[in-house]
Amino acid sequence: MFIAFRTAEDRILAALASAGFADLTRAQARLLAGIDLDGTRLVVLADRARIPKQTALALVNGLEAAGYVQRVPDPSDGRARLIQLTARGRAGLPIAVAEEARIEADWQAVLGARRMQALRRSLWDLALSADPDLQPPESPR
């Protein structure tokens, strides 16, 4: 699983770099992937990335300096701040999503449709057994 994950991650980072987002580090890209479109609190990002809050803060600081994110007030709590994608941060999303689709198509070419569907089901079963709070997409099965 690690080899396939790392290869997919490398491909997504290479696609982003080719599109002008070469300044993203692997750790920053992983953190960016956890940001909700309406913004996410730092502590939630750290939890999603399974990293200490201080590490998440350092990554967010770098992403903010590079223009990928901004801090905005949390409308549900005036004391809290949300990390939100900027226009530059949102511009990378379609590139990453398109590369993910190409990766899935390549994997399906190797496995076939039935085994690819079984892989998706199995990976979600494993993920949910490890973290029951995960929210699977509408139809991971």
Which pLDDT tens digit goes with each residue over 98-119? 999 999 999 999 999 999 999 9
The pLDDT tens digits for 2-60 are 999 999 999 999 999 999 999 999 999 999 999 999 999 999 999 989 999 999 999 99
Contact between 20 and 89 under an 8 Å Cβ cutoff? The reply is no
Helical packing angle, 53-65 and 42-49, nearest 10°: 110
Which pLDDT does position 88 carry in this prediction?
A: 97
Q: What are the residue ranges of helices labelled H in 19-75?
A: 26-32, 42-49, 53-65
Report residue 135's pLDDT band, with 50, 70 and 90 as the boundaries: confident
Query: Cβ neighbours of residue 139 under 8 Å, at least 6 residues apart?
Result: none
Go through the domains of the chain in sequence order and give each one's CATH number. Answer: 1-21+92-141 (no CATH), 22-86 (1.10.10.10)
Q: Say what the pTM is.
A: 0.87
